Amino acid sequence: MCGIAGLMTRDGAPAPAAPLEAMAAVLRHRGPDGDGHYRCGDVGMVQTRLAIIDLVTGDQPLYEPAGAALVANAEIYNYLELRSELGCGRPAAFSTQSDCEPPLHLYRRYGLDFTAHLRGMYAIALHDPAAGHLVLTRDPFGIKPLYYAETPSALAFASQPSALIEAGIVSPQLVQSVRNELVQMQFTTGRETIFAGICRILPGETVVVRQGRIVERRRRGALPEGGPLAIDEQEALARLDAVIAESVRIHQRSDVPFGMFLSGGIDSTAMLLMMARLAERPLKAFTIGFAASDVADERPSARAAAQAVDAEHIEILFDEPDFWRWLPEIVSVIDDPVADYAILPTWALARAARQTGIKVILSGEGGDELFAGYGRYRSVVRPWWAGGRMPHARGVLDGLGILRGETAGWRDGIAAAEARSGGHRRTALQVAQAVDCADWLPNDLLVKLDRCLMAHGTEGRTPYLDTEVAALAFRLPDDLKIRRGLGKWLLRRWLADRLPEARAFARKRGLTVPVARWIARRADELGPLVARSAAIREICRPDAVERLFAAATHKRAARAAWNLLFYALWHRRHIERAALPPDTAAALAETL
């Protein structure tokens, strides 16, 4: 894994070195093992490297005989198969053992369709001087991030928006409609980011840039078309075992030690079992717990599963002082904002993994989306008269009496995703899953995983987010996803047959962080501080915000208070450009 950045000038002038160096400096944490530089005519590219595969010869940029050059933030899991395929008939002149070299040769053979052959996670920048263009592309699920900005003088791109801002390419100006999405849903949608002038390369998108302008866009979908397959449970179980085994097998390709995040839930426990079946080295599993009695402690169930497969189990405790001390630092690394309290355990687990020498972590992201694990999916399959509704029907701040006015347009992005995701004979459940895969997954869960792990120089891999896994899981019949009020039915059945200790059919609570309790304990102090934040005063009535924090013992008020606390800190760091001290109250007080 790496950080990449670059630019193409509009007037054909040589790419200036200063912004390239500035972007590389910002991305250093993503690639502490080395850096690469490329300048050719009107294009310049940089890369900071986290060495995972081909530690000796895998430095970037990479080149192919006809002159194209590539920098990538990627793991191409089928690189061995691609090297063999490319060597058949007409040899490809490989100069490294890097997993990122085959895409160059695929590009030369298949042109812009080269990404159809890739199985992995990637954000790639490829310059072809002979063709006079720059190609930017991102994997279908959007596991790896890539952003760009079009200015009067150039098109610039980077792995994080903060690199474009710190290099002076774009100033940190807020987009109010995107801000509204954030405070109402905890994440943002679509191409436009919260920073004016900075956009996302969309998941699965390939863009072609000539003379500093985007001239072509193509997109490869992550999910298959079509409604549910005609498949019975036994056949589905056999196919599920084969496809998960293959995905985990190739996701374990690494020249450095790897481990996994084990929550004790269905997704991560199933992955633990498959990793233990296939691993050629002792397996390390990391689990977090919280010093609070009012949230489910997943450590006992995770411990039992780890013991059953002889995995080394490392338990981390996250308590209230950690929350107040680390929250400003965590917010500082989440430049593309995600007000998801799961950033807290993810950051702490990544920190612990790196301290034990682990550079690669496998994680269960995507299991809920592909196998229908969320409670909101069970609502979708109910008729309207029984309480059925599409997700995100109400904003986090709606109905609490704290807004100055309507937060216009906060649901427009989700509504557009719903419209795009219908058809193809899909069921209502599939549509809800597809909507989540379009925005919630890449712009919340995967941003969280990317920033928290890369802040500690650690790579995150997601075996469920594989196009072959999706080809089966997404098209399972609805009753193999949800049955008897339980989601992920088929995955539960698969796990129950192979690891009874997992108690796969027990009703499990999702990961819960006791932020409500922690905020409520300091509500008298926090409420006034958040209420006086310039960012919060713009959208909320200060007196109502203080009352909201005072009511943080209630679920809805607590969630809203958390969103506002996150946004106040985020705005202070990323819009006001202030350094945040390692104390939440102090960071807020400095806004007064």
Q: Mind listing the pLDDT tens digit for each residue in 553-580?
A: 999 999 999 999 999 999 999 999 999 9
Q: What is the average pLDDT value for the chain, to the nearest integer?
A: 93
Give the pLDDT of residue 257: 85
Give the pLDDT of residue 510: 62
Residues contacting 9, CB < 8 A, separation 6+: 15, 16, 42, 153, 154, 212
Give the pLDDT of residue 277: 93
Q: What is the pLDDT of residues 311-338, one digit of tens each?
A: 999 999 999 999 999 999 999 999 999 9
Give the pLDDT of residue 95: 86
Q: Where in the chain is the domain with CATH 3.60.20.10?
A: 2-219
Sign of the dihedral defined by the CA atoms of residues 12, 17, 22, 27, in that order: positive
User: Taking residues 190-200, what's their average pLDDT?
Assistant: 98
Would you tell me how many other CB atoms lie within 10 Å of the CB of residue 90? 7
User: Taking residues 96-106, what's their average pLDDT?
Assistant: 93
- pTM of the prediction? 0.96
Give the pLDDT of residue 108: 95
pLDDT at 524 over 70: yes
Beta bridge partners of 486: 483
pLDDT at 132 over 80: yes
Contact 143, 465 (CB under 8 A): yes
Q: Where in the chain is the domain with CATH 3.40.50.620?
A: 233-502
User: Taking residues 409-422, what's their average pLDDT?
Assistant: 92
Reported as a pLDDT band with limits 50, 70 and 90, residue 1 is low
Lowest-confidence pick of 6-15, 402-411, 427-436: 402-411
The closest of 260, 233, 341, 356 to 559, measured between CA atoms, is 341
Give the pLDDT of residue 429: 95
Residues contacting 300, CB < 8 A, separation 6+: 264
pLDDT at 513 over 90: no
Helix (H) or strand (E) holding 361: strand 360-362
Instruction: Count each helix (H run) and each strand (E run) in the chain, helices first.
Output: 23, 17
CATH topology of domain 2-219: Glutamine Phosphoribosylpyrophosphate, subunit 1, domain 1 (3.60.20)
Q: What is the pLDDT of residues 146-166, one digit of tens each?
A: 999 999 999 999 999 999 999
Reported as a pLDDT band with limits 50, 70 and 90, residue 294 is low
The rounded distance, in Å, linking the Cα atoms of 137 and 141 is: 12
Contact 109, 35 (CB under 8 A): no
The rounded distance, in Å, linking the Cα atoms of 224 and 400 is: 40
pLDDT at 391 over 90: no
Would you tell me how many other CB atoms lie within 10 Å of the CB of residue 354? 16
Q: Which residue has the tokens 């039915």?
A: 489
Give the pLDDT of residue 345: 95
pLDDT at 382 over 80: no
The rounded distance, in Å, linking the Cα atoms of 463 and 469 is: 8
Query: Quick one: CATH architecture of 233-502?
Result: 3-Layer(aba) Sandwich (3.40)
Give the pLDDT of residue 387: 54
